[in-house]
């Protein structure tokens, strides 16, 4: 867009750029800067236009983008151009991700390299390495308290190790996703330490207060994130003799984005990692980026402006790099992190589908899909050119983040239903063999979330202890069922390491004084490679899960209707134990897929009349692409065995109405 004020400012800035920047061949950089400058200028002005140093900061911002562009190597620049051409590349069904802690998975970055073939065996081609940057030796919130954003933690390796791993991944066509913890730093970060010595420049990087006046005002409306271990949102700093805002743990200092220098520093860090070869940058805790008295300090409009600005700037320097929004917030808020418009107000291409994840767990506990269907229906439409990260569980706790109104519409009392779910997954409910633990219990609000490994939550741990073969089978089926929906729903499925071999709760964190108070560590295991080896032993639990997932992944990759072009239609059927949706092939409707998942422990029947104008399969005319079998039919009803799923295709196109 050509706009006079922006354009003359751009001319001024280009004149003032340092000679080493001016002298370079920056053709691609300048075309992209020209295309995005109006947006960048407008956003930067909305956020910081009232400051005297606005122009100087604008110049700094362009310098950072230009310098990082100069640093970007030719291979990555080439990739940028390719991805610009094929800009929907990440919507393809070919991508399947896994998130893992390097330390827990293999120990370090060097040994990680030799495990890439294991990931490939399964079909994984996107790896999210959980935080690997410098962080305190003691408690560091699993690396989410960063003390140096440009250094790899010596405990997992060096920068060279990471680059070499990245190169090996690129050769194997595996995407690398890395974290940039944008909301806060560790109290051991250089900026925090300078702030502690009284340096006003660095105190302005954080929210620092002499007394409780303002903190008290904030606290009136701010919820607590870790109420048990880190109550409140402010910490008294002895050295500084001031209060500092710490929304998460007391050692995680929130950055103050009303200071443009903070924005520029963090953008520089994002681009630094883009240049180190990250294909995807996961932006942690993005809902929290802007703090305002009188609000919850989450999902503020400015937080969205900051993300738009980060995206626009990243597109100038490294347009091939994608952002993941980690915003575990209410269903109506989550979709907003894709941005309002895919072109003029874009934020992150990918977002965690926390609502879907929580709804799936509801279906597990209730064995029906009343709330699941309801909740999916009220999830707002997302933009084109954006996709979900669908997951069954991740490294964090499971929050019951669905809407109370949806719970009511599903026919339950919200408070009682939430209580039931907590009881169910913590094993307190009579009928439950789940082995989860409550996390973040809040005595004031009665709120709680859930920790526990996937296998333990679906009853495998208890079933093994009881030697109950049927319960073991049920747990395995549930693990596969849950994955079958994240693989087919639309979006990038993200597995949690260890789940592919049914890893149980890992209680060893209780022995570690820096971890014992945070039971999320129960589902951040150390992989037992001897156990993983059992995947090759026919009939073992590991083999049944691993091979099931492997087959699903391979099948998913062959089904173009599973690519994410907002081509899903939810079908509400009479039988409330079934989750049914259709994935429509964009070009060949006859190759659309009907997904049917039975969340009940008993066989269920799908009445073909329920499918209305959609696929009306006749006996032997539909085939499940996963198993290759044609499901049984009884009196125009499709039979779905307990915890079974189908990815159905009509074999004869004529059968499709």
CB atoms within 10 A of CB 200: 9
**Continuous segment of H or E residues that includes residue 61:** helix 54-71
CB of 163 to ligand OTU, least distance (A): 25
Binder among 10, 58, 287, 649 for ligand OTU (CB under 6 A): 287
CB of 184 to ligand OTU, least distance (A): 7
Nearer to ligand OTU, 273 or 581 (CB): 273
Q: How far apart are CA 649 and CA 656, in angstroms?
A: 10
Q: Looking only at residues 27 through 66 of this chain, which bind ligand OTU when binding is defined by CB under 6 A?
A: none
Q: How far apart are CA 402 and CA 189, in angstroms?
A: 36
User: Dihedral of CA 256/257/262/268: which sign?
Assistant: positive
Nearer to ligand OTU, 284 or 564 (CB): 284
Nearer to ligand OTU, 116 or 230 (CB): 230
86 as an active site residue: the answer is no
326 as an active site residue: the answer is yes
CB of 60 to ligand OTU, least distance (A): 27
| Stretch of residues binding ligand OTU (CB under 6 A), selected from 8-16, 162-170, 281-289, 500-508 | 281-289
Alpha helix (H) residue ranges in 134-259: 159-171, 190-196, 200-203, 213-219
Binder among 144, 243, 257, 425 for ligand OTU (CB under 6 A): 144
Q: Looking only at residues 164 through 183 of this chain, which bind ligand OTU when binding is defined by CB under 6 A?
A: 181
Q: How far apart are CA 502 and CA 107, in angstroms?
A: 20
From the list 68, 14, 23, 21, the residue with the least C-alpha distance to 317 is: 68
Question: Which of 80, 103, 134, 326 is the catalytic position?
Answer: 326
Q: Looking only at residues 384 through 443 of this chain, which bind ligand OTU when binding is defined by CB under 6 A?
A: 395-397, 399
* The 3-state secondary structure of 639-652, one letter per residue: EECCCCEEEEEECC
Binding-site size, ligand OTU (CB under 6 A): 17
Q: How far apart are CA 507 and CA 499, in angstroms?
A: 16
Nearer to ligand OTU, 361 or 626 (CB): 361
CB of 511 to ligand OTU, least distance (A): 21
Q: How far apart are CA 251 and CA 440, in angstroms?
A: 17
Distance of CA 85 to the CA centre of its chain: 26
Q: Looking only at residues 544 through 563 of this chain, which bind ligand OTU when binding is defined by CB under 6 A?
A: none
| Stretch of residues binding ligand OTU (CB under 6 A), selected from 140-148, 256-264, 502-510, 578-586 | 140-148
Question: Which of 284, 362, 499, 518 is the catalytic position?
Answer: 284
Count of residues in the chain:
657
Nearer to ligand OTU, 400 or 638 (CB): 400
| Stretch of residues binding ligand OTU (CB under 6 A), selected from 157-165, 284-292, 357-365, 410-418 | 284-292
67 contacts 317 by C-beta, under 8 angstroms? no
Kind of pairing between the strands at 97-100 and 126-129 = parallel
CA distances (Å), 363 to each of 129, 133, 388, 540, in order? 29, 37, 20, 27
580 contacts 549 by C-beta, under 8 angstroms? no
Binder among 177, 271, 310, 328 for ligand OTU (CB under 6 A): 328
Q: How far apart are CA 179 and CA 280, in angstroms?
A: 9
Binder among 165, 230, 285, 407 for ligand OTU (CB under 6 A): 285
Nearer to ligand OTU, 3 or 228 (CB): 228
CB of 401 to ligand OTU, least distance (A): 9
CB of 349 to ligand OTU, least distance (A): 17
**Continuous segment of H or E residues that includes residue 493:** strand 492-496
CB of 448 to ligand OTU, least distance (A): 11
Q: Under 8 Å CB-to-CB from 80, ≥6 apart: which residues? A: 28, 72, 318, 319, 320
Q: Does 326 bind ligand OTU (CB under 6 A)?
A: yes
Q: Under 8 Å CB-to-CB from 246, ≥6 apart: which residues? A: 184, 230, 233, 234, 235, 252, 253, 254
Q: Looking only at residues 215 through 274 of this chain, which bind ligand OTU when binding is defined by CB under 6 A?
A: 225, 248
Q: Looking only at residues 483 through 512 of this chain, which bind ligand OTU when binding is defined by CB under 6 A?
A: none
CA distances (Å), 440 to each of 75, 230, 320, 380, 455, in order? 45, 10, 38, 28, 21
Nearer to ligand OTU, 354 or 580 (CB): 354
263 contacts 309 by C-beta, under 8 angstroms? yes
Nearer to ligand OTU, 292 or 557 (CB): 292
| Stretch of residues binding ligand OTU (CB under 6 A), selected from 44-52, 137-145, 212-220, 546-554 | 137-145
Query: Buried b vs exposed e over 19-58: b needs ≥16 C-beta within 10 Å?
Result: eebeeeebebbbebbeebbbbbbbbbeebbeeeeebeebb
CB of 398 to ligand OTU, least distance (A): 9
Q: How far apart are CA 243 and CA 347, in angstroms?
A: 32
| Stretch of residues binding ligand OTU (CB under 6 A), selected from 24-32, 283-291, 315-323, 342-350 | 283-291
Binder among 268, 284, 500, 542 for ligand OTU (CB under 6 A): 284
Distance of CA 317 to the CA centre of its chain: 24
| Stretch of residues binding ligand OTU (CB under 6 A), selected from 54-62, 101-109, 256-264, 279-287 | 279-287
Nearer to ligand OTU, 83 or 311 (CB): 311
Under the rule (CB under 6 A), what is the footprint of ligand OTU? Answer: 141-142, 144, 181, 225, 248, 284-285, 287, 326-328, 395-397, 399, 449
Annotated catalytic residues are: 284, 326
């Amino acid at each position: 867009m050509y706009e006079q004020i922006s354009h003359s400012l751009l001319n001024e800035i280009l004149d003032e750029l340092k000679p080493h920047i001016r002298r370079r061949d920056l053709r691609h950089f300048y075309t992209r800067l020209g295309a995005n400058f109006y947006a960048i200028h407008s956003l930067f002005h909305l956020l910081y236009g009232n400051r005297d140093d606005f122009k100087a900061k604008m110049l700094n911002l362009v310098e950072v983008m230009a310098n990082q562009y100069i640093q970007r190597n030719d291979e990555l620049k080439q990739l940028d151009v390719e991805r610009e051409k094929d800009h929907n590349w990440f919507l393809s069904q070919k991508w399947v991700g896994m998130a893992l802690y390097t330390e827990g998975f293999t120990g370090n970055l060097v040994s990680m390299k030799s495990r890439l073939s294991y990931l490939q065996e399964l079909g994984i081609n996107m790896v999210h390495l959980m935080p690997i940057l410098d962080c305190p030796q003691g408690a560091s919130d699993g690396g989410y308290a960063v003390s140096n954003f440009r250094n790899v933690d010596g405990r997992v390796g060096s920068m060279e190790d990471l680059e070499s791993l990245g190169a090996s991944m690129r050769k194997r066509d595996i995407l690398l996703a890395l974290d940039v913890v944008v909301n806060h730093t560790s109290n051991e970060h250089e900026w925090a330490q300078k702030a502690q010595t009284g340096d006003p420049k660095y105190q302005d990087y954080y929210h620092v207060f002499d007394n409780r006046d303002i903190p008290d005002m904030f606290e009136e409306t701010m919820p607590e994130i870790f109420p048990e271990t880190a109550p409140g949102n402010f910490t008294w700093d002895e050295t500084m003799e001031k209060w500092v805002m710490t929304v998460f743990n007391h050692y995680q200092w929130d950055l103050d984005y009303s200071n443009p220098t903070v924005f520029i520093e963090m953008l520089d860090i994002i681009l630094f990692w883009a240049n180190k070869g990250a294909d995807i940058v996961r932006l942690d805790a993005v809902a929290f980026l802007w703090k305002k008295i009188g609000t919850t300090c989450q999902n503020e409009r400015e937080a969205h402006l900051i993300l738009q600005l980060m995206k626009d700037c990243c597109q100038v320097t490294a347009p091939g790099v994608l952002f993941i929004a980690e915003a575990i917030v209410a269903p109506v808020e989550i979709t907003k992190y894709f941005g309002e418009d895919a072109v003029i107000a874009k934020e992150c291409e990918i977002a965690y589908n926390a609502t879907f994840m929580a709804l799936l767990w509801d279906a597990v506990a209730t064995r029906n899909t009343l709330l699941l269907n309801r909740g999916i229906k009220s999830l707002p439409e997302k933009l084109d050119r954006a996709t979900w990260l669908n997951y069954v569980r991740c490294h964090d706790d499971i929050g019951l983040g669905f809407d109370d109104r949806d719970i009511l519409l599903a026919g339950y009392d919200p408070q009682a239903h939430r209580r039931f779910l907590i009881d169910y997954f913590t094993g307190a409910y009579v009928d439950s063999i789940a082995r989860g633990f409550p996390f973040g219990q809040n005595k004031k609000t009665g709120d709680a979330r859930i920790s526990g490994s996937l296998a333990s939550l679906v009853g495998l741990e208890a079933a093994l202890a009881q030697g109950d073969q049927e319960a073991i089978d049920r747990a395995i089926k549930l693990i596969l069922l849950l994955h079958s929906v994240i693989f087919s729903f639309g979006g990038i499925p993200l597995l949690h390491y260890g789940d592919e071999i049914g890893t149980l709760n890992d209680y060893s964190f209780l022995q570690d004084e820096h971890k014992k108070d945070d039971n999320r560590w129960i589902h951040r295991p150390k992989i037992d490679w001897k156990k993983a080896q059992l995947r090759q032993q026919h009939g073992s639990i590991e083999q049944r899960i691993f091979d099931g997932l492997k087959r699903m992944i391979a099948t998913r990759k062959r089904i173009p209707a599973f690519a994410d072009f907002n081509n899903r239609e939810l079908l509400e059927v009479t039988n409330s134990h079934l989750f049914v949706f259709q994935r429509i092939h964009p070009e060949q409707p006859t190759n659309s897929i009907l997904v049917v998942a039975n969340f009940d422990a008993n066989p269920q029947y799908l009445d073909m009349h329920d499918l209305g104008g959609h696929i009306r399969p006749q006996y032997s005319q539909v085939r499940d692409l996963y198993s290759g079998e044609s499901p049984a039919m009884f009196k125009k009803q499709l039979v779905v065995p307990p915890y079974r799923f189908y990815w159905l295709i009509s074999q004869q196109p004529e059968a499709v109405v």
